[in-house]
Amino acid sequence: MSAQASVAPAPAEGAAQAAPFEPVIIGFTCNWCSYRAADLAGTARTKYAPNVRLIRLMCSGRLDPTFVLKAFSEGADAVLVTGCHPGECHYIEQNYKALRRFQLLRRTIEALGIEPERLQLVWASAAEGVRLANEITRVTEDVRALGPLNWPAGEIIDIDGVDLEAAWEATGGDEAGPPEIPDGVAPDGVAPDGVAAGQSVEAPR
């Protein structure tokens, strides 16, 4: 009587391997700096991870917090917010508003069970194509290490009903506190030169 072989059959040559995780990253860019930096990177054929889908805003200050939550709820593994360096915003100091919202959002998503590292902020001027490309690749690798998000937001919250200020209060606020927005900040959507922001915004409405 011959013994039964207990060795598992070898996989057939050429059998399909599990596909590596490729994160989906939504990148909100400022028309005047980071969007142009991405364009510059493309023109110069500077390679960066193809995982990011760019959405152009007129300014990082245009970033509505619901854009970020909607991105997560619809399958994004991470969100990258980019804008002009502090002091270089074309709408005076709206990028400080973006910074404040970024801080609020990191606290909020953490309270919702999402690693805060899944939301990143990068300043990049129009001339910094290589730097932006490197940052996109870095963020992609960071998110790849975190793994897929699979956030079932629809079962947890009503996106439109999120009250970020209330969430901020609930977390006790940041020890350092959000940056103060100086007096004299231009109202939303109005550039110093009188050009109405939103004329060519390519963003969720």
Instruction: List contacts with ligand FES (CB under 6 A).
Output: 30, 32-33, 59-61, 83-84, 89-91, 94-95
- Tell me how long the chain is: 205
Nearest CA-CA partner of 121 in 140, 108, 148, 103: 103
CB of 123 to ligand FES, least distance (A): 8
Taking alpha carbons only, the member of 6, 55, 10, 65 closest to residue 35 is 55
Cβ proximity to ligand FES: between 53 and 85 the closer is 85
Residue 107: what residue type?
Answer: R
43, 83 in Cβ contact below 8 A? no
Nearer to ligand FES, 64 or 110 (CB): 64
Strands 52-57 and 78-83: unpaired
Question: Is 145 or 181 the residue whose CB approaches ligand FES more closely?
Answer: 181
Residue 55: strand pairing partners: 28
Cβ-count burial 185-199 (b if 16+ within 10 Å, e if not)? ebeebebeeeeebee
CB of 72: closest distance to ligand FES in angstroms? 22
Nearer to ligand FES, 170 or 195 (CB): 195
Least separation in angstroms between residue 61's CB and ligand FES is: 6
Nearer to ligand FES, 52 or 84 (CB): 84
- What is the closest distance, in whole angstroms, from the C-beta atom of residue 114 to ligand FES in the complex? 24
- At its nearest, how many Å lie between ligand FES and the CB of residue 35? 9
C-alpha to C-alpha distance for 84 and 14, rounded to whole angstroms: 48
204: amino acid identity, one letter: P
